[in-house]
Amino acid sequence: MKTPRSLLLLAVLAAFATLSAAPARAQYTLVWEDNFDGTTVNTSKWAFQTGTGCPTLCNWGNNELQYYRAENATVSGGLLTITARQQSFGGKSYTSARLRSQGLADFTYGKIEMRAKLPIGRGLWPAFWMLPTNSPYGNWPMSGEIDIMEYVGHQPSQVFGTLHYGNPNQIYSSTSTSLASGTFHDGFHTFAIEWEPNRIRWLLDGVQYACKSNWISSAAGYPAPFDKPFHMLINLAVGGNLPGSPDGSTVFPQEFVIDWVRVWQKPQDMTSILFDGMDHANPFANGWFVFNGGGGGSIAANSTLPPQDGCGASLEVGYGGPNGYIGGFGRTFPIDLSGRTNFEFWINPDANQRYTLEINLQEDDNGDNSTDEEFQYNLVVSPTGPGAIAGGGWQKVSIPLAGFFDDNSVFPGGNGVLDPISTLKGGNGQLVSVVMAIISQGGGNQTFRTDFWNFRNTTALDVAEDDAPGPRLLGAAAPNPFRSSTTLRFAVQKGERYAVTVHDLSGRRVRELESGRGLAGERTVSWDGRTDTGASAAPGVYLIRVRRDSGAEVRKIVLQR
């Protein structure tokens, strides 16, 4: 039997840190797929983009050489085949095809994957990628681009995963991976991303090869721009900035063959705001700093020990000196903590050491992004804890903001209140820096790794699986997953007020199904997959909540299209 799973755990603020080992990841649920079982491209799932991109985006913005035609995409035997031909058409010397799901299948977060076999030859550029559906933060690249798979045909054993963003000049982060033997033209491989609110992972055949947790947007705060709906694109370009032009060695026609495309989703923690995922080679280029006391030391990126909960690296900390204050480190990164209740981070302390981490939240009280006061929490690290266990491997520490006390020894000014809300939003201030000072209790070296610093709201709804034990206010949805309609059962007591609502994974209400004051007994309610405005909801994972005077419960349902 499955155990209950919490999307957001109901909690009461306490003034003590909690310590936990790594939890299991929530499981993905299939919400959308195309197995290409028909004889033509399913136009309820894909739309063709044809031509040269002119007049608004001539040559598709990349100096590409092809004319896109619907005729170059065919479906047969459970496969979608995009064929690039050396063919004069529309003033171009090559033809190919480009499909997108905009307005038909748009997603925010999830596992998006494709199984495909790639063409081979210089000048060929197949891609499986995503663009923002509505460009809420401005024109490219400010609203972002996610390249799940890119490939150039003259390097047939290598693929790329890339993020594009900017402010507004383009910034990109790209990582490649290569096959141990053979080429991507020899057979089928699975290309995927796992897109979460604070990180994006790239996978080849189920194995992660890249991860990104840090990006920027000039139009909004982190995690923009990768926090809005994106749609999928599949295309085979000929020529262009990345692969160059075909030459005499390139054989036409060439085929980009897709077996299937699938989208999976799971409940996401929408309450977390990342301070730093340690996803950088040089911490000092990302706002980090160090200082020495009675001893000395420094920090560095560490990619040799697998990090916890973050991406490709953790932060390695090494200090030494006598008993007492020996130094420390921190990062300046002003953020708005509105609605957050806890500071959380991962730590992997080396064995047989004893020290206190003096954790300081430095904040601004007047809107000038300079420190006016400091709030402190002391975390004891030793072989027995209690803050963190030396030699205990990766551990997650969660400290309620209410547990930090006003330390006015360094910054005597301020109003004495930890202000999470920025002055721009009507508050008194915001976080400017997080600083950790090391107080040695045993002399010698004090060394540890740390990863994925974030602030989170630990108070919200509890979401259980349909077969979870215990009191049942809300019965199982049937069918689930569903396409056209699903029905749920719930009970009310005599005269009890109730409301049944549908929410997306961010907690935003999608539909109110029913509300009122009922007679005692069981009631049923159905959802037809439409929003309060009557529009069709996008496929994905949703939460059904029944709220009564005597309690509330939330269940997960999956809408497929």
Residues with catalytic roles: 145, 150
Residue 43 neighbours by CB under 8 Å, 6+ apart: none
Distance CA 132, CA 481 (A): 26
Residue 75: how many CB atoms within 10 A of its CB?
17
Q: Contact at 8 Å (CB) between 127 and 71?
A: no
Residue closest to 18 by CA, chosen among 531, 460, 400, 461: 400
Mark out the alpha helices in 341-483 (DSSP H runs). Answer: none
Q: Contact at 8 Å (CB) between 474 and 370?
A: no
In angstroms, what is the C-alpha Rg of the chain?
Answer: 27
In this structure, the strands spanning 388-389 and 373-382 are: parallel
Residue 253: how many CB atoms within 10 A of its CB?
15
Two tokens, residue 388: 């963190």
Residue 206: how many CB atoms within 10 A of its CB?
8
Distance CA 330, CA 345 (A): 13
Q: Contact at 8 Å (CB) between 450 and 318?
A: no
In this structure, the strands spanning 110-117 and 254-265 are: antiparallel
User: What does the H/E/C string look like for 225-274?
Assistant: CCCCCEEEEEEEEECCCCCCCCCCCCCCCEEEEEEEEEEEECCCCCCCEE
E strands, 273-323, where? 273-276, 288-292, 296-302, 314-321
Q: Contact at 8 Å (CB) between 36 and 78?
A: yes
